[in-house]
Chains A and B, each alone.
Chain A
Amino acid sequence: MAQDATGAAATNFTRGIGLHTKPVPLEPYRSASFFAAERDRVFARAWLMLARVEELPAPGDYVVKSIPTNGVSVILSHAKDGRIRGFYNSCSHRGSEVVAGPRGNAARFTCPYHSWTYANDGRLVGIPDEPSFFAVDKANCGLTPIATETWEGWIFVNLQRRPEVSLAMFLGPFAVHLAGLKYQAASTPVVLTADLDANWKVVMDAFVETYHIPVIHPKTIGTTFSSKMNPFARLLDARKLGIHQAVSMYGNPEYVANPDNRVEALAYSAAATGSVIAAATTEGARAFLEHPSVNPTGSGTWSMDVNHLFPHTHIDCGPGGFWTHQFWPTSPNTCRYEVRFYVPQAQNVYERFQQELYVGRVAEIVLEDLNNVARTQRGIDTGGKDFMQIQDSEIGIRHTMEQLMKWVDADTVAEAMA
């Protein structure tokens, strides 16, 4: 690829994918009516990733998950028959939440209000003082199911009573892109959450572009993502995967730890070297990295890939493994953010020491972004600007907005996905 005035290779992602190049509207980042449309026409109709199967591996295991955008508490339950089912966490008697969560193992769920009891496959099995009721149709008074499907270990739910499209149709080319990926350390995530003063897209946008990294994260990761060759951290690759997308990010091959960092040196003195997150370097880790959609351009200057699962989930892959971000809208200018870093169980004190450094550093990066997104939202809320100027390496922002507009406008999901 040709270089331009910055010294970096020129890119042509936006036109290459067939997206327009006009400014992108800001109203969807502050409008109450757009927020309501996202809640009712996007989050209430799309398949939403809620968990991984490793969170409830054994029969009887359950987890309680929240969909804060729609105010829905979901019970995900692994019954004896091996199936994982989703239920609204609401009692058939007078509506109370049935299961407190966040996780456990039980054959039955008993409502804390008047002790109506349900089997973990949802059937109503016990009504105290049943003769005082008026012929309750028990067969129809089980927990209310939520459409639940699993793809490659990821558990999704759909709030439509009868989803218009199957999970397979919803995922489309995304499922092909990541097919067969061997997720490493999937049962040991480190989980951080934050309630942020910013529209969910403000936060999500900050994790799909690297343009800001040298500016907002100069000390934590700035030098990892940019270099003299690519000072503005332009993307390596961007692909449209139906309604989803994947971008691959540049990494600075010249980055070396500062030798004055005595604790960092201590962490890596005796232990095997390698990426922090992949403390356990195994065959599995190799298989993960050899997947054709991990570092899809085979670049020697690669840092990570963002696989954006519409509407609000990122499955990211880096040299050491995978992690996820989720951005749940809670109001026009607030959201709930959750990041899950899948870190192998440490085998010795050195690995555990490395993980402490890693988690501490990650929390600082999140903190830098948290501060930045609140400032961005305040600027947007002034109303002084109606449009954003979006560059080629910010393509993820443009693509998501285009998809959202379609979902908000379309009367059917098929139309939204066309």
Chain B
Amino acid sequence: MSVRTTLPLGFADLEPFVEQWAGATVDARMYARASADMAGIRRFYEVAVARGAEALEYCAQFPLDAMPDDAALLFRLMLGLAQASIAVEIHGQPRAPGTPWPNSITLQRGPSPFG
């Protein structure tokens, strides 16, 4: 993230999580989850999932590949929530139990946009 953009009006409560969770690529967001501690992941998850439906609805007004900067940032944060959910809803810990970190898995190409 080069230029500091803020979230759309009405989503200020999510602002503290932007820096950690709204990475520009899948790799960055996956890294955020894999390297975070569980308490921090849960804090973000609880706040963000409560605003999830509203946030996605807000972003859905725009074409996926042509969102205004603030909506795109909000959407990236929601994609960060998807990553956080893997820790909360599947493993109960940041990564699959007993798996190495860091590791050699590299995402060469993610889904676009925000891949």
Contact = CB atoms under 8 A, between A and B. Distances in A.
Tell me if chain B binds chain A: yes
Contact of B90 (A195, A346, A359, A361): A361
Interface string A339-372: 0000101111110110111011101101110110
Contact of B49 (A263, A353, A366): A263
A233 B98 CA distance: 23
A359 B111 contact: yes
Contact of A363 (B60, B64, B107): B107
A153 to B, nearest CB: 18
Interface in B75-95: 75, 78-79, 81-86, 88-91, 95
B30 A363 contact: yes
Contacts of A370: 99-100, 103-105
B39 interface: no
Contacts of B84: 263
B113 interface: yes
A262 interface: yes
Interface residues of B, number: 44
A264 interface: yes
Given A262-B49, A363-B105, A349 B75 contact: yes
Q: Which of B49, B64, B83, B96 has the most CB of A within 10 A?
A: B96
A263 B81 contact: yes
B100 A371 contact: yes
Given A262-B49, A360-B30, A364-B91, A352 B105 contact: no
A191 interface: yes
Interface majority SS on A: helix, strand, loop or mixed? helix
A352 B114 CA distance: 9
Given A188-B111, A266-B56, A195 B86 contact: no
Given A188-B111, A263-B81, A356-B83, A258 B89 contact: yes
A356 B79 contact: yes
A193 B91 contact: no
Interface size class of A (residues with CB under 8 A): 35 or more
B109 interface: yes
A343 B26 CA distance: 14
A349 B104 CA distance: 30
B10 interface: no
Interface string B28-56: 01100100000000000100010011001
A132 interface: no
B111 A343 contact: yes
Contacts of A355: 111
Contacts of B26: 356, 359-360
Interface of B: 26, 29-30, 33, 45, 49, 52-53, 56-57, 59-60, 64, 75, 78-79, 81-86, 88-91, 95-96, 98-100, 103-115
Interface of A: 188-196, 219-220, 258, 260-264, 266-267, 269-270, 343, 345-350, 352-353, 355-357, 359-361, 363-364, 366-368, 370-371, 374
